[in-house]
Amino acid sequence: MSTLLFFSDDLMFSSKISGAAAQQQKTLKCVSSLAAFKEQLAAASNSNVIVDLSCPAADPAAVVAIVREQPQHGKVVAFGAHVQAGRLAAATTAGCDLVLTRGQFNAQVEQVLASLV
């Protein structure tokens, strides 16, 4: 079973993502701090990461740097509100593999999760 780390503090949206992940035989682990993220990533053998840019603790540059330090881990997907153009641009600049608006991510969640092998 594949593991996804979901960096977010939005419990309602986490529940939706968790359900979609379970349908695809993937385990979703939610974290809301950089310390918890580091701990969960270190404990996992192969994880993909989804970052909710509306979470104040989710610094895309720090997240990407931590993931890239451990090459056994996969992709980093980030999403955020379309009005947070600066946060979306920062995620792209940081090297996230895929950056979407929240609406795009919400509409394509099954496809995005399927692409994270």
Question: Considering its fold, how many domains does the chain have in total?
Answer: 1
Q: Determine the structural domain holding residue 71 and report its residue range.
A: 2-115
- Predicted confidence (pLDDT) per residue in 34-81, tens digit: 999 999 998 887 889 999 999 999 999 999 999 988 877 789 999 999
The position carrying tokens 């641009």 is 89
CA distances from 116 to 49, 57, 73, 86 (A): 9, 23, 11, 25
The CATH number given to whatever domain includes residue 42 is 3.40.50.2300
- Predicted confidence (pLDDT) per residue in 71-114, tens digit: 777 899 999 999 999 999 999 999 999 999 999 999 999 999 99
